Structure 1
Amino acid sequence: MNTHSLFDKFRIGPWLILAIITSIAVGFLYPHQLGVLLWSLTKLCWGAYLGYWIDRSMFPYARPGAWVDSDADRPLLPLFMLRRVIIIAAAILALGLGV
């Protein structure tokens, strides 16, 4: 098994552990806030999911992954990735600030 690919899968692990620890701390210190925390996380996840699919539906032929193998269009790859980030961030902000 490739150790490098295994490490790539768990590189976000420390942030996940920190999120779990802080959620447990909120549960012990302020148990009445767990519903608010869950609602906020739900909106965040839905915003990320909807933003991704909004980008895919608006730009079906300009997906970042399709341009990785093409050397001729390599300068456009960062722009495609930036476009996706902006759309997903806008969806997350819209849901986070909306309700």
Structure 2
Amino acid sequence: MKAFPRMTDWLIFALALSILIFALAPQQVPVSLYKINLIALAGVVGYWLDRSLFPYARPDSFLAAETPQDNSIDGGGLIFDLECFVQNDLLFVAAQIRRSIIVAASMIAVGLGA
């Protein structure tokens, strides 16, 4: 049996509701598309807002990375020892939660204002 991608059932449900909206009130289709566009843009803006507010605390910076053979990184004349970047699970989780809160807040703000 072939496995479907995740959330396929929700995609089918959303398409069925879209068809129902088109059948019952076709004048509302552009409004729905407009609101979906605003929410998607708010998610992107929230992501880039997090990246610009916290450039040195990105979630992926706390993941274990493959280290170079000499265990150091040349940072524009400065040599950083990779041992100083302690891979901390708690910091990774906090960065992920922070990013999700910022993205969700921007999406909610746009959703409430539109």
TM-score tier by shorter-chain length is 0.7 to 0.9
Equivalences, count? 92
Query: Residues of 2 paired with 1:64 and 1:13: CA distance?
Result: 28
Structure with a larger share of its residues in helix: 1
Match for 1:45: what amino acid? A
Distance 1:15 1:65, change over 3 A: farther
1:29 aligns with 2:44: no
Instruction: Give the percent of matched residue pairs that are identical in Structure 1 and Structure 2.
Output: 38
Structure 1 residue 82 and structure 2 residue 97: aligned? yes
> Residues 31-67 of structure 1: CA distance to partner in whole angstroms, max 9, x if unpaired?
1111221111011101101001111111112111221
Deviates more, 1:10-19 or 1:38-47: 10-19
| Aligned positions of 1:2-81 closer than 5 A | 10-69=5-64, 72-81=87-96
Counterpart amino acid of residue 112 in structure 2: L
Matched residues in 2 for 1:18 and 1:79: separation?
33
More strand by share: 2
The list of structure 1 runs, each at least 4 consecutive aligned residues, that deviate by more than 2 angstroms after superposition, is none
State the Cα deviation string for residues 65-85 of structure 1 (Å, max 9, x = none). 221217741111111111001
Q: Which moved more, 1:33-42 or 1:61-70?
A: 61-70
